[in-house]
Structure 1
Amino acid sequence: MTYSIAILGASGYTGAELIRLIAGHAQLKIEALGAFSKAGQPIKQVFPHLRHLDLPVLMQIDEIDFANIDLCFCALPHKTSQEVISKLPNDLKIIDLSADFRLSDPDDYKKWYGNDHAAKDLQKEAVYGLTEFYRDQIATARLVAGTGCNAATGQFMLRPLIQSAAIDLDDIILDLKCAVSGAGRSLKENLLHAELSEGYHAYAVGGTHRHLGEFDQEFSKIAGRSVHVQFTPHLIPANRGILATAYVKGDPTKIHDVLVSAYASEPFVEVLPLGDTPQTRDTRGSNFCHIGVVADRLPGRTIIVGALDNLTKGSSGQALQNANVMLGIEETEGLMMVPFFP
């Protein structure tokens, strides 16, 4: 069976990544591509690398006929997404890639994103989109909220350890490096090549990064008590990839065993042999997440390193994985591509 798909926000990085992934999917067909400023343009004009694909012309979202659309990906900016989704048909399956439905408490959304939530009724039915941990809920959901790419990386590394009480919950330090595509495609002065290349820098230092809202929500839910990680992100002059390093208190062998067991049947999360660490180049362009565990020189402390592609496993690949679950398709369909090399 073939399902009809719409992508809103198709002119951004995550929109382009969705098109790339769906082009290799046996059961999905793109019927509509929505955009704002680039509406009316053929996709080859916006993304020349997609010119070989037979795709509809970009159009204004309010001009799309959703009557025959089975599932809609919404890859729009924060705040815009909730306003658009609230006007879509009530029976349409939706996967939102923005932050608008990730935080279950609208007050938390206002705290981290600075705006009142404009679709509180929809928020009540949204399911958090970390597939490996919400698979059953996603299967019956109408609206799925994709995670932040940084939040996904940290959760793959730490969720099983919090669940099993393998680490000290009051001593978690997460240091994360993210490629520039994680900041989106809109023009920003600090992302100009001359100002970004040949160096990297910390940002949102001191606990102000928005993905901390997801860490607080999810880790505290698992633990049944308040859990607050110390988190500092860094922007690196690369197009794709996240490399996160967590410093925790706990036995490295036990931590490794817990992670191996947690992901033994997961097709997209691979735990490396104890002592090995991953690299972003090994997951680039793929839906895989690699995790490594190393014993620290200080007794009782462990270093955990995670790597994934922020545009794929951290966003659009995760969204397609969720779509497969929602539509009853084999979860790995369209996602088993080999990482880019070199």
Structure 2
Amino acid sequence: MAHRIAVLGASGYTGAELVRLIALHPNMEITALSGERKAGMSMAEVFPHLRHLDLPRLTRIEEIDFAQVDLCFCALPHKTSQEVIRDLPAGLKIIDLSADFRLRDPKEYRKWYGNPHAALDQQEEAVYGLTEFYREEIRAARLVAGTGCNAATGQYALRPLISAGVIGLDRIILDLKCGVSGAGRSLRENLLHAELSEGYNAYAVGGTHRHLGEFDQEFSALAGREVRVQFTPHLVPANRGILATVYVEGAAEAIHDAFRAAYADEPFLQVLPLGETPSTHHVRGSNFVHVGVVGDRIEGRAIVIVALDNLTKGSSGQALQNANLMLGEKETEALMMPPLFP
């Protein structure tokens, strides 16, 4: 019998991406979809590209019978998500795509998100959802906290290098570009076509981006000491994709070897030949991550470039990958579709 799936927040970009991916899964059936402002509408009305699918109508969360759900994806905004998850049935498997359960320390959550955590019991049991590095914990988890898309990209670029001890830890520079869908579907003046197209801009400059909380938590735990990266994100006039360029101290050959060793058996992590660099065009609409390494002209320094699709591997694809583990399915099920090109 198919696993019964609910998607909360199905009227947003990550919710729609979840529906697109789950539609390919032979052992999952979507039985409930919520969209508070679009309750009563069909998914075909909200997302015409999904009109070929036989889906339930969007409803309000309180109208869903969770006794008829095996796993729930929660694609709601932060703060809202914790308040909803706190009241869901205790035995329900949940994957949260918001920021609400990513940070283990409640003080750090308050620091980065500006409000006290409202679901501390659930926060304590949550497992961080970066699949390749928390696979066994995710398999046994009830609640999984999906990573930030920027945070996932930066960690794919740096975790193997920190673990292998092949880079310096005090002068890591992470320069990242993200497509506009990473900002969500809400109407904002700076995301209007006339405001965004034909240019790109840095934001959260100087260490204010919230995903720094994830970098601090994860990199410091790996290194056994405090690690603080210098991180500047940029918004680019593209619908999808993240490209991270990371400047590190270390030998390019040793860095490349560390990636090949760490990702040799990972189905979605593709390490390019030394000297080649990836493009967001080559991962678009897929769950793949491309990693490139190039030596710098300055001796002892190297450049790591990582590309992924922020809606798929950075969010909804990662969530489905985790759901496969939690439900005893093949980890790659419904996720091996090739990228879209051009």
List runs of 5+ in structure 2 lacking aligned partners.
Answer: none
**2:119 alignment partner in structure 1:** 119
**2:284 alignment partner in structure 1:** 284
Q: Please state how far the C-alpha of 1:30 moved relative to its aligned partner.
A: 0.2
The within-5 A match list for 1:3-18 is: 3-18=3-18
- Matched residues in 1 for 2:97 and 2:217: separation? 18
The letter of the residue matching 1:211 is H
Q: Please state how far the C-alpha of 1:164 moved relative to its aligned partner.
A: 1.0
- Matched residues in 1 for 2:328 and 2:43: separation? 29
Q: Secondary structure at the match of 1:37?
A: helix
- Matched residues in 2 for 1:160 and 1:303: separation? 14
The within-5 A match list for 1:135-174 is: 135-174=135-174
Output one character per residue of 1:184-235: Cα deviation in whole Å (capped at 9) or x when no partner.
Answer: 0011110000000000000000000000000000000000100000000000
**1:64 alignment partner in structure 2:** 64
- Matched residues in 1 for 2:268 and 2:178: separation? 20
**2:28 alignment partner in structure 1:** 28
- Matched residues in 2 for 1:42 and 1:150: separation? 31
The within-5 A match list for 1:78-89 is: 78-89=78-89
- Matched residues in 1 for 2:275 and 2:341: separation? 24
Q: Secondary structure at the match of 2:198?
A: coil
**1:330 alignment partner in structure 2:** 330
**2:131 alignment partner in structure 1:** 131
- Moved segments of 4+, more than 3 Å: none
Q: Please state how far the C-alpha of 1:271 moved relative to its aligned partner.
A: 0.4
The within-5 A match list for 1:68-107 is: 68-107=68-107
List runs of 5+ in structure 1 lacking aligned partners.
Answer: none
Q: Secondary structure at the match of 1:166?
A: coil
- Matched residues in 1 for 2:50 and 2:35: separation? 16
- Matched residues in 2 for 1:265 and 1:89: separation? 36
- Matched residues in 1 for 2:14 and 2:215: separation? 22
Superposition CA RMSD, Å = 0.4
**1:55 alignment partner in structure 2:** 55
Output one character per residue of 1:139-170: Cα deviation in whole Å (capped at 9) or x when no partner.
Answer: 00000000000000000010010011110000
**1:319 alignment partner in structure 2:** 319
- Matched residues in 2 for 1:42 and 1:277: separation? 42
The letter of the residue matching 1:247 is Y
**Number of matched residues?**
342
**2:199 alignment partner in structure 1:** 199
- Matched residues in 1 for 2:94 and 2:50: separation? 24
The letter of the residue matching 2:229 is V
Output one character per residue of 1:23-81: Cα deviation in whole Å (capped at 9) or x when no partner.
Answer: 00111100000111000101111001101100000000000001121000000001000
* Residue 43 in structure 1 maps to residue 43 in structure 2: yes
Output one character per residue of 1:252-271: Cα deviation in whole Å (capped at 9) or x when no partner.
Answer: 00000000010000000000
**1:185 alignment partner in structure 2:** 185
**1:273 alignment partner in structure 2:** 273
**2:303 alignment partner in structure 1:** 303
Output one character per residue of 1:285-326: Cα deviation in whole Å (capped at 9) or x when no partner.
Answer: 000000000000000000000000000000000000000000
The letter of the residue matching 2:79 is K
- Matched residues in 2 for 1:326 and 1:300: separation? 42
Q: Please state how far the C-alpha of 1:171 moved relative to its aligned partner.
A: 1.1
Q: Secondary structure at the match of 2:134?
A: helix
Q: Please state how far the C-alpha of 1:2 moved relative to its aligned partner.
A: 1.2
